[in-house]
Amino acid sequence: MNSLLRKATGDAFRRIAALAAGAGSGTALLYADAKSDYSARVSLSIPEEWWQSQSVLCPVSSSVSAEYGEFGNLLLFSSRIGPVPSAGADNGGSGDVGDKHKPNCGCLGRDTIANAAARVAPAVVNLSVPHGLYGYPAGKSIGSGTIIDANGTILTCAHVVVDYRGMRPLSKGKVDVTLQDGRTFEGTVLNADLHSDIAIVKIDSKTPLPVAKLGSSCKLRPGEWVLATGCPLSLQNTVTVGIISCVDRKSSDLGLGGVRREYLQTDCAINAGNSGGPLVNIDGEVVGVNIMKVLAADGLSFAVPIDSVAKIIEHLRKSGRVVRPWIGLKMIELNDMIIAQLKERDEMFPDVDSGIFVPMVTPGSPAHRAGFQPGDVLIQFDGRPVGSVKEVIDIMDDRVGVPLKAIVKRLKDMTVTLTVIPEEANPQI
C-alpha cells in the first residue's frame, strides 16, 4: 500500500483525496488494490446523499475509482452512471420502451450508451419488401423502421418501401415487419414523401407494441454523442455510435437537386439495411431518421432531423401529401463577416445587422412577380424579423396561395414593402 501511494502522486490522486475529505470525516472509505501486471486500483466509496448535495458535481453513483497503470497514468472515473437495474425488473408491458432505463443525467459513463440503446431497441424493426417482375420473385429490399405510437405506426424511409422508378409502393404496399422480440407482422404502406424520403407503414397487433420516444433535433450541436440502430444487411438489433458532425448539412452541399433540404451529418457506421432506422441521442430519444451514407468515404452518414420528420408526418396525416410553398428566391443568411465583405465590394450595400441576402431571383417566380430584385436584403417576412432561411420556410409552412408581406432593404437606405404569394413547389425542379 505504501508503495502504491508513493507511485500514485499527482493531481488525479489529490482529487480523490479531496473527495474523501469533502465527504466528511468517517463517511468515506478509501482502499487500494495492487495487481500483478504492475497496475493498481484506488477506490473511494462515498454516500449517495453527499453526491446529491453537491450541485457542481454530476450525480453519478456513490463509487469513484482511479486506476494507475505501468505508464504512470492515473485516471479518475465513475463506476456507473444511472440506476443499477433491479434484479426483479418487469420486462413486460407496453408504452414507451426502456422505461426502466432512466435518461442520462448529463455525464457520459460506462452505461450511458447501453442505456440509450436499451430504451429504443425494442421499438426498432426490420423491414423486408419482396420485389416481383411479371409475377416472378426478383429479390427484396431491406431496411429498418421505428414504432412511434401504440397503434402500430412505423417511421421509415420511402426508398425502402416505394419503387422510385414507378413511383408506387413495392409489392402492392405490403411489408414484412419483424420486431426485436421475434414477432412478425404484415405491414401496409400508408403514405410516402419521395422528396424527403420519409414513409409511414402501419401494422395491427392484438398485443401491446413497444414505442420509441421522439426527441427534438433543434438543439443538437456538433460533437454530441448519438447512436444509429437498425438492421444493416438484415443483422437485426445492431447498434453503432458516433457524434453529430454537422446539424444543418444542406442538400446542395451533397449535390442533390430539388427543393432545399437539411440533414444531420454523423460519423455513425451505417450500411445497407440501416435506412429508415432511428438516430438516437444519449437519452434514448429519436432525433433523426437515417437515410444515406457516402459510399466513397468513411464516417459520412446523414439523417433527416426529427423536427422536420414530425412536420412531414403531420402533412401526410392531414392531406395525404406534403405541401411545400415556393417563392423562387436564392437566399444567403447574413452574419457580421459576410456583411462586412459585401460592404467592401459595394458601398451601396444596405446598412443592416442581420437578414437574408438575395443574390438571385428566379424569372417568372412568385418573388419575381412581387418585385424582388437581386441584391435585396429580406429583413421581415409576414410581420416577423428573419435571419435564417429556415425561419422563412417555417413562416410559409403550407400557406400556398396566401399573400405574405415582405420588407426588404435595397441600396443604401431604401426600404421596400412587397407582397408575395407562394406557389406549391415542384420537387423535380
- Sign of the dihedral through C-alpha 156, 159, 160, 163: positive
CA distance 261 to 401: 22
Give the chain's length: 429
Phi, psi of 275 (to 5 degrees): -55, 130
- Sign of the dihedral through C-alpha 86, 89, 91, 95: negative
Biggest CA–CA distance in the chain, Å, is 85
Q: Any idea what DSSP says for residue 182?
A: S
Q: Any idea what DSSP says for residue 135?
A: T
Residue for cell digits 452518414? 301
Q: Quote the strand ranges of 158-202, DSSP E.
A: 162-163, 168-169, 174-178, 184-193, 198-202
Give the residue numbers marked as catalytic: 159, 197, 275
Three-class secondary structure of residue 210 per DSSP = strand
104-133 burial string, b = 16+ CB within 10 Å, else e? beeeebebbbebbbbbbbbbbbbbbbeeee
Nearest Cα to Cα of residue 304 among 254, 356, 236: 254
